[in-house]
Structures are given as structure tokens and as C-alpha cells.
Amino acid sequence: MKRVMAVLGNTGAVLTLVAAVLTPFLLYELFAKGVVATGVRIDPMYSGGDTSHVIERGAYKIIVNRPVPRRAPLQRVDSFVQLTWTPAARLPDVVNDEVDLDRDGKPDLAARFEVPKELGKELRVDVAALSGLVRPMEKVSTESFSALIVRVREGIVVRIPLQRSNY
């Protein structure tokens, strides 16, 4: 009888461990839907904001996000707009694009950067302000959270500080 109880106890322990390991994988979709249902969203300061519009450039496109305003006077991150050139594999060796942020038919900035084939090579971007919306940048890599260029997934993300955030 003691032997049967020991086997049942050990079997129960093993099944409990298997259930503990498999539960996150089996219930992940349910947990994900539950989190989405709460309305929790990633802060635009980290995500770059919601998409405003997409500019098609033939082999690639530019995703223009809505401006992300500075929220507090003591916050060290300035207002910025995030642009994503995607897919990076289809970009020319040198990107030189004019971008209309506010969709008024006139370009607000001209961005220029080289696209190195080596993934680990540092990126640098120059941005010329063509209107009063953005601040110019010269040879910026990752100077701050609101002025940077980085390779993210399949694209190249550029954050440009805004002169004014109400456009």
C-alpha cells in the first residue's frame, strides 16, 4: 500500500510539473486577449506613436507616425516624430527623401542617410528642415531618445525632434 501511494504521489508531482511548464504555452493566446481587452497600450514615447500615413516610394515605403508631444516640463525627452523606412533590404545605398509630415502638399523635411549592408554598422542621418515643423539634425546616430536613427526589425527608424508639436 505504501508503494502504491508513493507511485501515485510521484506521478501527481510529475503531472503537476508538466502542467506548470505547458500552461503558459497553452494559455498564451487567452492571456494575450485578456491584456488587449483591458485597453493597455505601449506608451507612444517607446512605440513611436500611432501611424499617421504611409508614403509609397516604389520599392520601399515611409511610415509616418503621429507626433509624440513632450508631456511634462521635467521630462528630458523632447517632442518628436518617428519615420520608418521599410523594408531596409529594398532601400537604395543612400536614402535622400523629402517627407510631407502634415500632408499639406509641401515637404517639411529632407532626410539623408546611407544604408550599410552590414547590420552592425552605425547609422547616421542628416535632416534638413524645409518648414517650421522639425529641427534640423546633422550626422545624428543615437544622440537622444527624440533624435536618433536605428535599425529595427525590417526597417530603419528615424526620430526627428519637433520645433512645434501641434500640426
| 110 and 85 part of one domain | yes
Global pTM reads 0.76
| 68 and 90 part of one domain | yes
| 133 and 101 part of one domain | yes
| 57 and 124 part of one domain | yes
Phi, psi dihedrals of residue 29, rounded to the nearest 5°: -60, -40
pLDDT in single tens digits along all 167 residues of the chain: 778 777 777 888 888 888 888 888 877 888 788 877 888 888 788 888 899 999 999 999 999 999 998 877 666 778 999 999 999 999 999 999 999 999 999 999 999 999 988 878 899 999 999 998 999 999 999 888 889 999 998 999 999 999 865 66
| 28 and 94 part of one domain | no
| 36 and 94 part of one domain | no
H helices present in 38-163, as ranges: 44-47
In a domain, 167, yes or no: no
| 14 and 30 part of one domain | yes
Number of domains present in the structure of the chain:
2
Phi, psi dihedrals of residue 4, rounded to the nearest 5°: -65, -40
| 70 and 33 part of one domain | no
| 55 and 8 part of one domain | no
| 60 and 142 part of one domain | yes
Q: Which domain does 58 fall in, by range?
A: 46-161
| 35 and 65 part of one domain | no
